[in-house]
Amino acid sequence: MNRSSTAVPSPAQAWNELCEGNARFVAGTPRHREDVDRRAELVGAQTPHAALFGCSDSRLAAEIIFDQGLGDLFVVRNAGQVISSSVLGSLEYAVAVLRVPLILVLGHDECGAVRAAIDSQTADAPALPVHIASIIEKIVPAVRRVSGQAASTQLDPARVDAGQVGREHLKDTVTELLEQSEVISAAIAAGTLAIVGANYVLFEGHADPNIVVGDI
């Protein structure tokens, strides 16, 4: 979906494009859009049709998973897809300046950050480096909700469903995004933006939407 600076797709159109691209990826029939002509088109400006905020796991290559080409996605990634000021600023830029109609927040199964958050709540958990700990702390509330245990209780990691923790953390991420960004929440209210929270299944290759905010 290449567009001019004035032809902004609707949130539904942008989501449909990603769904179709993911279906091509799953089927093994990708449509590459990274040729010389496309590269030349993008020299002057970028007009992505969606922003993607996801985990930095090497298996979550956004453009490949959704079969998108150069200039199609505005991508922001960090370990565990945790909200920070730099993430908020980047996504606000995508919405306010680039006018993307869709933000996809993408989690996945077998997430190392989620596993680290679970393990950090055990009796013999080692101290983490300060910057890693700052990431893990954002996921711990989801760990505690899934475990049903108080914050002071040491957990048995075998009794905590990592997949459910990941899904809960995805909800937290979307909620925090809306609560902390007036730019994004205003665009949702105006109907010019939607947010989809989805979980990527590594083995199958598809992204399952779990959360929708806005009209798609």
Q: How far apart are CA 137 and CA 163, in angstroms?
A: 18
In this prediction, residues 121-129 reach a mean pLDDT of 91
- Write down the pLDDT at residue 136: 96
Identify the band that residue 40 occupies on the pLDDT scale cut at 50, 70 and 90: confident
Q: Which amino acid is at 49?
A: H
5 pLDDT above the threshold of 60: no
Q: Is residue 132 part of a domain?
A: no
2, part of any domain? no
What are the E-state strand segments in 19-140? 50-55, 73-78, 102-108
Distance CA(157)–CA(147), nearest Å, equals: 9
Residue 202 domain-assigned? yes
Q: Using CB atoms within 10 A of its CB, is residue 21 exposed (0-12), middle (13-18) or buried (19+)?
A: buried
Whether residue 62 is contained in a domain is answered as yes
Residue 139, in any domain of the structure:
no
Model confidence at 4, in pLDDT bands (50, 70, 90)? Answer: very low
Residue 48 lies in a domain: yes
Please determine, for residue 3, whether its predicted confidence score (pLDDT) is greater than 60: no
Residue 126, domain member (yes or no): no
Residue 133 has pLDDT above 50, yes or no: yes
CATH number of the domain at 77, please.
3.40.1050.10
pLDDT in tens, 183-215: 999 999 999 999 999 999 999 999 999 999 999
Q: What is the pLDDT confidence band of residue 6, given thresholds at 50, 70 and 90?
A: low
pTM > 0.85: yes or no: yes
Mean pLDDT confidence for 14-41:
88
Q: Between 46 and 24, name the one with better pLDDT.
A: 24
- Residue 42 within any structural domain of the chain: yes
Q: How far apart are CA 94 and CA 132, in angstroms?
A: 27
Alpha-carbon distance of 2 to 77, in angstroms, equals: 23
Which residue range(s) make up the domain with 29?
11-111+167-213
Considering its fold, how many domains does the chain have in total? 1
Please name every residue paired with 31 in a beta bridge, in sequence order, or none if there are none: none
